[in-house]
Amino acid sequence: MKPRDLLLALAVVVAWGVNFVVIEVGLEDFPPLLFSALRFLLAAVPAIFILGRPRVAWRYVIAVGLALGVAKFGLLFIAMDRGVPAGLSSLVLQSQVVFTVLFAIVVLRERPRSTQVIGILIACAGMVLIMLDRGLSAPLGALSLVIAAGAFWGVSNTVTRHAKPQDTLRFMIWVSAVAVVPLLLLSLLIEGPRAGLEALRGIDLTGVGALGYLAFVATLFGFGVWGYLLRQYDASTVAPFSLLVPVVGMGAAWLLRGETIGLQQAIAAVLIIGGMACTVIRRRTPRTTESGEQILSKSAV
C-alpha cells in the first residue's frame, strides 16, 4: 500500500474509533433515535443532489438502509443511551464479523475455512467474558442490544456483498437517505414529539459538532475513503485495518471519557480482536506460472 493510502486507511480507523465517543457525547443532547435520524439526514440530503441515483438495484439500497441505518445504528444508539460505554460498544459491536461469516455460510453458501471457525469460537469466548463482566460496566439488556446491532450489521454486510456496489460512497449516501424516515417515525412513536422538540430547541455547539462529525467525518469521509481503498487494493489488504477500530475506540474512551478497562475486559478484547483476525487470514496457496514454476499467491492477512 502506498504511504498516502496507508495514512488514509489509518485516518479512517481513527475517525471510526473516535466515532463512539462522539455518539456518547451527542446522546447527552439528543434522544437516540432522533440523533441517528438527524445524522443520516445531514449526510444524505446535500450529497444526493450532487452524486445522483445509486448504481445498484433499489431493493439492495432499501434492505441495507433498514438493516444498517435503522436497525444497527438505532439499536446501537439506544444501547449507548441506556448505559453501554463508548469503548465497550466499539468492541462488542465487532461481533458483526462473526455474524457476517455465519450469514455468508447460510445465505451465500460460502464454505467456511478452518481459520474462520477457530476465529468465531475465539471471538465467542471473548463475548462470553464480556457478558459475565457486564455488571461492572453496562446493563445486560443494553449490552444485548449492541450484539443485536452487530447481527444486523452482519445482515447488511451480506446484502452488500451480494449487491456488489461499484461506488461505495454513493451507495452509502442512498442507504443513509432510506434510513431517515423510518428513524424519524420510530422517534415520534417511541421517544415522543416533545423530547425531539426540546432537543432541537436546546441544541448547542456540542450537539451540532457531534452531528457534523457523524455525518461528514464518520459517514461521508469514512465510507468514501474506504470505498476508494477497496477499489485500489484487494479486500484482503484493506479489511484488516478495521480490526484497529475497537482499539482506537477503547483508547479514545479511556483518554477522553475516563472509561476504565478491567483485566477481564482486556482479556475479552484480546480474544475478540484475535478471533476477528483469524476470520480474515488465508493460507498462502501455490499457483503455477506459464513457465511451470510454482509461486505463493498473495496472503489475505
Tens-digit pLDDT profile for residues 245-280: 888 888 898 888 888 777 777 787 787 778 777 766
Which whole number is the average pLDDT over 282-291? 49
pLDDT at 27: 94
Map residue 55 onto helix, strand or coil.
Answer: coil
Torsion sign (Cα): 241, 243, 245, 248: negative
Higher pLDDT, 99 or 48: 99
Residue 283 has pLDDT above 60, yes or no: no
Q: What span, in angstroms and rounded, lies between the C-alpha atoms of 109 and 230?
A: 23
Q: What span, in angstroms and rounded, lies between the C-alpha atoms of 63 and 180?
A: 14
Q: Within 10 A of 98 (CB to CB), how many other CB atoms are there?
A: 26
pLDDT in tens, 154-186: 898 888 888 888 888 888 889 999 999 999 999
* pTM (global) more than 0.85: no
Q: What percent of the chain has pLDDT over 90?
A: 34
Which stretches of the chain are DSSP H helices? Answer: 3-26, 32-51, 58-64, 73-81, 86-92, 96-106, 114-132, 140-163, 168-186, 193-201, 205-212, 222-232, 235-238, 245-257, 263-279
Residue 261 CA from chain centroid, whole number = 21
Whole-number Cα distances in Å, 295 to 1, 85, 286, 289: 21, 48, 5, 7
Residue 300 has pLDDT above 70, yes or no: no
Q: What span, in angstroms and rounded, lies between the C-alpha atoms of 12 and 223?
A: 8
Map residue 166 onto helix, strand or coil.
Answer: coil
Q: Of 149, 156, 123, 155, whose CA–CA distance to 223 is shortest?
A: 156
Instruction: Find which of 89-103, 159-173, 188-202 is predicted with most confidence, using mean pLDDT.
Output: 188-202
> Given pLDDT bands bounded at 50, 70 and 90, which one contains residue 290?
very low
Whole-angstrom distance between the N-terminal and C-terminal Cα of the chain?
13
Q: How open is the CA angle 43-45-51, to the nearest 5 degrees?
A: 90
Higher pLDDT, 9 or 111: 9
Q: What span, in angstroms and rounded, lies between the C-alpha atoms of 168 and 87?
A: 27
Query: H/E element holding 288?
Result: strand 286-288
